[in-house]
Amino acid sequence: MAFVGRPPLAVLEPYVKSLFFVALEEVRGGVPDRVLPGGGTVELFIDLLDEEVLLDDGGPVRLRSGSVVAGVRTRSYCIEPRRRSAIGVHFRPGGAFALLGISPAEIVNRHVSLGDLWGPDGRCLRERLLEATSLEARFQLIESALLRRFIRARPQHPAIATALQVLRGDVRVSEVAALVGLGRRRLRDVFTCEVGIAPKLYARLNRFHGVKAHVAALQALPSWATLAANAGYADQSHLIRDFIDFAGVSPSDYFRSRTGETRIDHQVHASH
């Protein structure tokens, strides 16, 4: 498996965390790749080998598009274990609102074709990427497509950037609302529209994502009680409940599966 990530152009940094390329060999035994929720982010995946994507999201779903936008996830999903070469975009939380042309709230726990969102521009992007002769040329094509969207991007509500910075773990939403000068309900509505999920759920996902990335890099099983305390969980059982809610597996099972079904997850975290 190979993974390459690089930062976007400076003008895109408020919206895009990174561009990436990933290559997977087919796994013997056909073990599916499980993708766990990120920290409230939206991703764009463009498959360079196949024109359709097969997902298992509570039931097999075949998208007849090689360009797929994955909405904010609150649960894991699986992709078929075949040879894969893909390029894509990790949007920052709230960044997809400006560049995709929809509210991320519309695609939570869903995958949609880029062509359905961008029309002909989305359908042609993959064709141009297939014609490119280098990885850097492909990254530049994606940046050019994003820049065309950036020109007419919707401005982010001024409260969102601050809210995203301070929403961690058990921070009270009422405290964040007071900090940004909005009522609690107004903050929830604006945040959900631009980020995709409510502030409290985002804070939980963000904390989970931090622990998941930490676990992915470990060489030996940690003390879950110590890890829970350092991450701001009430106790070890609180951490385990969040892991099972979001990932569908316990922290220990996730750690043991690093060379198995969650190989994409671990490789991405090891590369950032």
List of domains in the chain: 2-151 (2.60.120.10), 158-199 (no CATH), 207-270 (1.10.10)
**Cβ neighbours, 10 Å, residue 181:** 11
Q: What is the pTM of this model?
A: 0.89
Sort strands 84-91 and 2-6 into parallel, antiparallel or unpaired. unpaired
54, with CB counted inside 10 A (0-12, 13-18, 19+), is: middle
Residue 102 carries which DSSP code?
S
Would you state the pLDDT for residue 201?
94
Tokens 């940094």 identify what position? 13
Which of 20, 11, 64 lies closest to 41, judged by CA?
20
Name residue 26's amino acid: E
Q: What are the pLDDT tens digits along the chain (272 aa)?
A: 688 999 999 999 999 999 999 887 766 566 777 888 888 899 999 999 877 776 666 665 666 678 999 999 999 888 777 777 899 999 999 999 989 889 999 999 998 999 999 999 888 999 999 999 999 999 999 999 999 998 888 888 999 999 999 987 677 899 999 999 999 999 999 999 999 999 999 999 999 988 888 888 888 888 999 999 999 898 999 999 999 999 888 888 888 877 667 766 766 665 55
Would you state the pLDDT for residue 16?
95
Partners of 19 in beta bridges: 6, 89
Would you state the pLDDT for residue 241?
94
